[in-house]
Structure 1
Amino acid sequence: MKILHISAVKSWGGGENHIENLCKELHKIAPSVQNTVLCVKNGLFHRKLVNSEIFYETVSINFKMDLRFCFKVIEICKKKQIDLIHIHDSTALTLCIMADHLYNLPPFVFSKKTTFPIRSRKQTLYKYNYKKIKKILCVSEATKAITAVNVNDPKRLVSIYHGTKVNDYDTTETLSLREHYNIEHSKRIIGNIANHNWPKDLDTFIKVANTLVNERGIKDLHFIQIGNYTTETSVLIEKIERLKLSKYITLTNVIPNASKLIPQFDISLITSKSEGVPQFIYESFLHRTPVISTNVGGIAEIIEHNINGFLSPSGNSEMLSDLVIELLNNSELIEKFTAISFKKIHDKYTTEMMATKTLQEYKLVLNGK
Structure 2
Amino acid sequence: MRKEPRILHISAASRWGGGENHILNLCQEMDSASHIVLSRKGSDLSKRLKLENIEVYSAPLLTKFDLRFVWKIIVLCKKHKIDLIHIHDTTALTLSIMATYLSANLPPYILSKKTSFPIKDRKRTLYKYNHAQIKKILCVSDITRQITSEKVMDQEKLVTVYHGTSVPKENIGNIILREQFNIPKNAILVGTIANHIRAKNLETWVNTIDYIVNKLGHTNYHFLVIGSKTDRTASYLQRMKEKGLENYCHFSEFIPDASVLIPQFDISLMTSQSEGIPQFIYESFYYKVPVVATEVGGIPEIITNGENGFLSRPHDGVSLANKLVLLSQDRSLQEKFTKISYQRLLENYTTKRMAANTLAQYKEVLYGKNGTGS
* TM interval, short-chain normalised: over 0.9
Which amino acid letter does the alignment assign opposite residue 7 of structure 1?
A: S
Q: Classify the secondary structure of the residue corresponding to 2:30.
A: helix
Which residue, 6, 18, 25 being the options, matches 1:2? 6
* Residue 41 of structure 1: how far off its partner (Å): 1.3
Identity %: 48
Contact 2:169/2:257 (8 A) holds in 1: no
TM-score, length basis structure 1 = 0.97
Give CA deviations for 1:53-109 in whole Å, capped at 9, x if unaligned: 211111111111111100111110010010000000000000001011101211000
In the alignment, which residue of structure 2 is the partner of 1:282? 282
Which residue, 18, 30, 42 being the options, matches 2:22? 18
Query: Unaligned 5+ residue runs, structure 1?
Result: none
- Runs of 4+ with deviation above 3 angstroms: none
Matched, 1:171 2:175: no
Alignment of 1:1-369 (within 5 A): 1-27=5-31, 34-104=34-104, 105-166=106-167, 169-174=168-173, 175-368=175-368
TM-score, length basis structure 2 = 0.95
Which amino acid letter does the alignment assign opposite residue 273 of structure 2?
A: K
* Residue 368 of structure 1: how far off its partner (Å): 4.7
Give CA deviations for 1:181-223 in whole Å, capped at 9, x if unaligned: 1111111111111111111100000111111112211111110
Contact 2:12/2:91 (8 A) holds in 1: yes
Q: Classify the secondary structure of the residue corresponding to 1:182.
A: coil
Which amino acid letter does the alignment assign opposite residue 274 of structure 2?
A: S
Give CA deviations for 1:163-195 in whole Å, capped at 9, x if unaligned: 1014xx322254000111111111111111111
Between the aligned partners of 1:73 and 1:42, the Cα distance in structure 2 is 17
Query: Unaligned 5+ residue runs, structure 2?
Result: 370-374
Which amino acid letter does the alignment assign opposite residue 85 of structure 2?
A: I
Which amino acid letter does the alignment assign opposite residue 243 of structure 1?
A: K
Contact 2:270/2:293 (8 A) holds in 1: yes
Which amino acid letter does the alignment assign opposite residue 249 of structure 1?
A: C
Between the aligned partners of 1:233 and 1:43, the Cα distance in structure 2 is 21
Which amino acid letter does the alignment assign opposite residue 235 of structure 1?
A: S
Which amino acid letter does the alignment assign opposite residue 145 of structure 1?
A: Q
Which amino acid letter does the alignment assign opposite residue 20 of structure 1?
A: L
Give CA deviations for 1:206-241 in whole Å, capped at 9, x if unaligned: 111111112211111110001111111111111111
Between the aligned partners of 1:308 and 1:368, the Cα distance in structure 2 is 39
* Residue 242 of structure 1: how far off its partner (Å): 1.4
Between the aligned partners of 2:50 and 2:272, the Cα distance in structure 1 is 31
Moved more, 14-23 or 169-178: 169-178
Between the aligned partners of 1:77 and 1:64, the Cα distance in structure 2 is 20
Q: Classify the secondary structure of the residue corresponding to 1:359.
A: helix
Between the aligned partners of 1:226 and 1:47, the Cα distance in structure 2 is 19
Which amino acid letter does the alignment assign opposite residue 355 of structure 1?
A: A
Between the aligned partners of 1:120 and 1:46, the Cα distance in structure 2 is 32
